[in-house]
Structure 1
């Protein structure tokens, strides 16, 4: 694989949270965007760095569909501030990093990479899947927050909460 570099100007990194708990019906699933990141692919290694203070709420989703008007601007700002301050502690841990050796290929248009993911100073093994969709690479991972010492966000005495599993999807030009 040729060397390549991607950032938010050529790629998009989205994070998906899902609600749970007894009052899940009053909560929202969320779609967030990482505004600042860099992915570097060398012939034998992939390295990703994601600015933990750059997550922005794109919208809520209801029944798997984007619901752009479901959150007020104030709600969006409060959610972003909570993620940055309380969930990811971005002042103490400004970067989320992933490092994997290449390649662990499954075929010409898909791959599975195993590497180390570091969040909040904790490193854990993480598997990501990569597939080709036209001229784009779609990279997906499921991150279990408690593995990194993150207690999923709760409200209303735990009756409303974010589920422990968070989805991540990065799309970028397919590296030739």
Structure 2
């Protein structure tokens, strides 16, 4: 059996922080990945492999917390442009995750896999929490990814006194019908 999931099944979000002497001036962003596809291959009653592909053209800045003033629509567009530049999306338009080892854990599964961002691959374990909600399975993930691990330089301004934090928190939630 194979599950095919996409953005209609759940949400994939990135949450950034701000660092530097002028960090109070910056916004902590929530960015949506609005175009993604995941394939989960099953071996009997257990998941055996997962492939996730995120199309960077589908990213959207949803909100910005903090900052001196509220984040305006033109600033959201600029933040999106800057994020795509940092990710070198012109040359690497997708982020991929491939997990070939999936082990049962206390509250779900532990995925051992490879994350590829901007042409750089790194091993990246992910813990997926799974809950039985009657007719559906609820899945959720929270994982931290570091710019430096992928050779990325976080966006900065004011001569580096305000910059996007190295650590980015990735969250994922989905609901899948049991009869899928």
User: How many Å apart are 1:132 and its aligned residue?
Assistant: 2.3
Q: How does 1:129-140 map to 2 (within 5 A)?
A: 129-133=127-131, 134=133, 135-140=137-142
1:110 aligns with 2:101: no
Query: What CA distance in whole angstroms lies between the structure 1 residues aligned with 2:154 and 2:88?
Result: 13
User: How many Å apart are 1:175 and its aligned residue?
Assistant: 7.1
Query: What CA distance in whole angstroms lies between the structure 1 residues aligned with 2:83 and 2:120?
Result: 17
User: How many Å apart are 1:89 and its aligned residue?
Assistant: 1.4
> TM-score of the superposition, structure 2-length normalised?
0.87
Contact 1:4 1:175 in 2 (8 A): no
RMSD of aligned Cα (Å): 1.8
Gaps of 5+ in 1: 64-68
> TM-score of the superposition, structure 1-length normalised?
0.89
Query: What CA distance in whole angstroms lies between the structure 1 residues aligned with 2:177 and 2:123?
Result: 24
1:128 to 126, 129, 134: 126
- Structure 2 counterpart of 1:80: 80
User: Structure 1 residues 124, 175: CA separation in 2 closer, same or farther (over 3 Å shift)?
Assistant: farther
- Structure 2 counterpart of 1:50: 54
- Structure 2 counterpart of 1:41: 40
Number of equivalenced pairs:
168
User: How many Å apart are 1:115 and its aligned residue?
Assistant: 0.3
- Structure 1 counterpart of 2:45: none
Task: Indicate the structure (1 or 2) with the bigger Cα radius of gyration.
Answer: 2
Stretches (4+) displaced over 6 A: none
Normalized per residue, which structure has more strand? 2
Gaps of 5+ in 2: 43-47
